[in-house]
Chain A
Amino acid sequence: MTRALILLRRRLVGSVFVLLIVVIGSFLLLEAAPGDAVDAYIVSTGGDAGMIELLRHRWGLDQSEFTRLANYLWALMHLDLGQSVTFSRPIREIILERLPTTLILMGSATALSFGLGSALGIYAGARPGSFRDRSLSIGSLALYAVPGFWLGLVLIVVFAVDLRWLPIGGIETIASGKTGFSRAADIATHLVLPVSALGFIYLALYLRMMRAGMAEAWRQDFVLATRARGLSRRRIVLAHVARNALLPLVTMLGLQSAQMLGGSVVIESVFAVPGLGRLAQEAVAGRDTPLLLGIILVSAVLVVVINLLVDLAYAVLDPRVGAGEASA
């Protein structure tokens, strides 16, 4: 357990710097984008010079970039994410409202792609080169090549418009008054399509990785040894070949979590899911710098935490990891 603690301490110190760089970098990037929050706002309203000046002043945009960044960082040190200009509400509130939706969507999609992907990968990798291996590989690659929004639209047309088995979008039935279990079931029904669209795309990654790892493991001496020991084929596949191929998948899981956040922007739009991805899109379009920074910060924290968990899982799965550091 000490190994894990040392890992944790090291990571946390590193993370603070990572987050600081992320915040400053994003701020500068957004500043470099032409147009500010007022420009984005007057697109839909118009307005005269006096009104525009008034808005710039109210939203603090008449201050220099440096002052605004300094103010933001100062507030951030006090764990204050600031006020959104597009929503005129505290950013913490807005993000907390959206975060659970994104976590459920991402979590379910990751579970789907990781679970189904590695299971199919084991199935394919049990006999590399066989017909089922080849057909699964080609099928998953085809899915991987499909753009997310298009897969989403096809799912909508088939399952929501034609068959009408599932709702077309949203996170739950509007003003249904449902509570408890029936509400959870309602949300689950609404999540089937977006989770499938998001999960199926990344499924190929896990499948191919598992399959490739297993194909390689089959050629190694320890597999020969297990055979020589007369272990059952089932045991060789699951306990030896697949377990060895699993480690890179766990690494991938950490890396993919960041990707998944990006992919959910598109899926959230297509399925009208009120998550962080869509919020980020609105923040960029509205040049809502503090809101976008808040979202990036929360996403970065999320990614750091997930990767930390992955590392810890790694340490559990593979006794070699962190052994050197612990003894040092």
Chain B
Amino acid sequence: MSELTISRRGLLAGSALLLASTALPTIGFAQTPKKGGRLVLAADSKPRNLNPAIVASNGVFFISSKIVETLAEASFDGKDGLEPRLALSWEGAADGLSVTFKLRDGVKWHDGKPFTSADVAFSALQIWKPLQNLGRTVFKDLEAVDTPDELTAVFKFAKPTPFQLIRNALPALSSVVPKHIYENGKIEDNPANNAPVGTGPFKFAEYKAGQYYRLTRNDAYWGKDEPYLDEIVYQVLPDRTSAAAALEAEEIQLAAFSAVPLADLDRISKVPGLKVITKGYEGLTYQLVVEINHRRKELADLKVRQAIAHAIDKDFVVKTIFLGYAATATGPVPKNDPQFYTADVPTYPFDVAKANALLDEAGYKRADDGKRFALKLLPAPYFNETKQFGDYLRQALAAIGIDAEIVNNDSAAHIKAVYTDHAFDLAVGPPVFRGDPAISTTILVQSGIPDGVPFSNQGGYKNAELDALIVKASETLDTAARTELYKEFQKKIAADLPLINVAEWSFISVARDTVGNIANNPRWAVSNWADTYLAG
């Protein structure tokens, strides 16, 4: 392969390749990043909106996090797992009623105007709180943002709000957009939603429908010597098999967010010049969960839910469906979470005999045809793995005499069937853990959520004790006490099984080995890439 490259691209390219390959062993050490170059990577379809302040989702961040920055970013070794971006420091008041941010000096928007605390106040009050998908929950009690000077923003809450929650929410929920661009007209219709203006290391350059997004270097970026790249190009490759081919053909240098299917990884890891990277997504953990409709009489019985939990071979799921690129789960907080996870919960080892015994005990004896009862199983279609797990679960249930009929839908139909119509008995869902259980995890089991809210408890589960615990944790200001309550939360869920957590996984990147500083923070794919560079 490399011989072919040399003959095709001429001696110059060939010697560059040689240089890159001899430089390889040193890449692990502190290699001086090289300046310049265009990084081309695979993207799937277009996100509808590129404003991360309105839509806090990975699809939007993937592109916009390079343009629009947050107050802080996740970090492997920073204090509380954070490192400063637009904010230099953050301090919570003891009464939980205010948080003070000291902002970075000398930061400019891409149009040259200075970044100030007014922008932060505007973004928080006008966008995060009323409009943002996640902010509407986390910042619901935000009352005012005081700006005593241009570099200080003080968030005032109407009710005591745990500082730990605000801190954990910073990497995903605190994208700051320019007030002077958004203050006139309707925020949702602002043209900057499709051509964002930010403070980030890259500027939005152009979008060609269905073809690519191009970002160019922000020469006035606040980071010293950063960014290293001249350009980032997101090439739209809707077909997942073509991402792998494009990497091999050297048309792209990076495929993040598992654009290369798991089944191809083994082969592609053997291609010279390509590397498979599993790091850099620790902060974006997806959970493979069996959602349960507790309105079904059989499923309202704890013994039946325990039987289902015992019938699932989690190790098999991790090895066969995820090909090892996942971990088994014990409860609603993933094992890789540094703050909240506890292993001290009831577990359900794979045991078909025990599962059968539990079902007999519950009074659901096998009929003459060997079946106890039938139910409808709806695997979410968003990932290959959720669909495959649906097939596996059907077999696992058959082994304990439960006859599951699989109902396949596309995304929109699945969302409606499960979360609005409740037309399911079991569903397979991939909720995301976002660094704090209060952001998007507690609503998976909390009662009283209106119909139609996606990724929430729509299974009719109601547990007053658990609800009380969730409310208490949301009001507990002391970090240690709050963490302890969420450990209790995990125990209660594992014991009562409102849903069954099976596995946890995240994404995989495949890159040319010339791409440097990959995966150096837990949300790398959705971070600003100021220090990413191309060697050789």
**Which residues from chain A sit less than 8 Å from chain B, CB to CB?**
33-37, 39-52, 58, 86-88, 94, 97-98, 149, 153, 156-157, 160-161, 164, 167-172, 174-175, 269-275, 278-279, 282, 285-287
Residues from chain A with Cβ under 8 Å of B224 in the complex: none
Is B248 engaged at the interface, CB distance under 8 Å to the other chain?
yes
Q: Is the CB of A274 within 8 A of B236?
A: yes
Cβ-neighbour of A49 out of B48, B189, B242, B453 (below 8 A):
B453
Cβ-neighbour of A168 out of B133, B206, B209, B245 (below 8 A):
B245
Q: Is the CB of B210 within 8 A of A279?
A: yes
Cβ-closest chain A residue relative to B240 = A269
A153 to B57 Cα, complex, angstroms:
31
Residues from chain A with Cβ under 8 Å of B59 in the complex: 44
Task: List 14 other contacts, CB 8 Å, given A86-B48, A271-B239, A278-B238.
Answer: A34-B413, A39-B415, A43-B411, A43-B454, A48-B137, A50-B136, A94-B209, A98-B210, A153-B242, A168-B246, A175-B206, A175-B214, A272-B237, A285-B412
Complex A-B: 5 CB contacts under 8 Å: A47-B453, A49-B452, A272-B242, A274-B209, A282-B45
Cβ-closest chain B residue relative to A167 = B251
Q: Contacts A33-B413, A43-B415, A168-B246 hold; do A274 and B454 have CB atoms under 8 A apart? A: no
Count how many chain B residues have C-beta atoms less than 8 Å from C-beta atoms of the other chain.
Answer: 62
Which A-B residue pairs are the 9 nearest by beta carbons?
A274-B210, A35-B412, A40-B412, A35-B416, A34-B413, A49-B450, A47-B133, A39-B412, A39-B415
Shortest beta-carbon distance from B54 to chain A in Å = 9
Task: Report the number of A-B residue pairs with Cβ-Cβ less than 8 Å.
Answer: 156
A86 to B237 Cα, complex, angstroms:
19
Cβ-closest chain B residue relative to A58 = B188
Residue-wise, chain B 172-184 has the 8 Å CB interface mask toward A (1 for contact) of 0000000000000
Q: Is the CB of A174 within 8 A of B57?
A: no
Is B367 engaged at the interface, CB distance under 8 Å to the other chain?
no
A42 to B211 Cα, complex, angstroms:
24
Shortest beta-carbon distance from B488 to chain A in Å = 25
A101 to B526 Cα, complex, angstroms:
32
Is B134 engaged at the interface, CB distance under 8 Å to the other chain?
yes
A286 to B133 Cα, complex, angstroms:
18
Is B264 engaged at the interface, CB distance under 8 Å to the other chain?
no
Q: Is the CB of A161 within 8 A of B48?
A: no
Cβ-closest chain B residue relative to A56 = B452
Residues from chain B with Cβ under 8 Å of A39 in the complex: 411-413, 415-416, 420
Q: Is the CB of B454 within 8 A of A46?
A: yes
The residues in B between 162 and 216 inclusive whose CB is less than 8 angstroms from any CB of A are: 188-189, 193-194, 206, 208-212, 214
Shortest beta-carbon distance from A154 to chain B in Å = 11
Q: Is the CB of A40 within 8 A of B411?
A: yes
Shortest beta-carbon distance from A183 to chain B in Å = 13
Shortest beta-carbon distance from A132 to chain B in Å = 35
Q: Contacts A50-B136, A98-B210, A274-B209 hold; do A160 and B249 have CB atoms under 8 A apart? A: yes
The residues in B between 81 and 117 inclusive whose CB is less than 8 angstroms from any CB of A are: none
Residue-wise, chain B 413-436 has the 8 Å CB interface mask toward A (1 for contact) of 111110011000000000000000
Cβ-closest chain A residue relative to B136 = A48
Cβ-closest chain A residue relative to B449 = A49
Q: Contacts A160-B249, A272-B237, A279-B210 hold; do A44 and B412 have CB atoms under 8 A apart? A: no
Q: Contacts A43-B454, A49-B450, A160-B245 hold; do A272 and B235 have CB atoms under 8 A apart? A: yes
Shortest beta-carbon distance from B30 to chain A in Å = 32
A153 to B239 Cα, complex, angstroms:
10
Residues from chain B with Cβ under 8 Å of A273 in the complex: 210
Shortest beta-carbon distance from A103 to chain B in Å = 15
Cβ-closest chain A residue relative to B5 = A164
A164 to B414 Cα, complex, angstroms:
41
Cβ-neighbour of A169 out of B40, B242, B440, B449 (below 8 A):
B242
Shortest beta-carbon distance from B477 to chain A in Å = 24
Residues from chain B with Cβ under 8 Å of A282 in the complex: 45-46
Shortest beta-carbon distance from B207 to chain A in Å = 11
A46 to B57 Cα, complex, angstroms:
9
Q: Is the CB of A272 within 8 A of B239?
A: yes
Q: Is the CB of A174 within 8 A of B453?
A: no
Is B47 engaged at the interface, CB distance under 8 Å to the other chain?
yes
A172 to B235 Cα, complex, angstroms:
11
Is B4 engaged at the interface, CB distance under 8 Å to the other chain?
yes
Cβ-closest chain A residue relative to B440 = A46
Residue-wise, chain B 444-465 has the 8 Å CB interface mask toward A (1 for contact) of 0000011011110000000000
A275 to B210 Cα, complex, angstroms:
8
Shortest beta-carbon distance from B42 to chain A in Å = 9
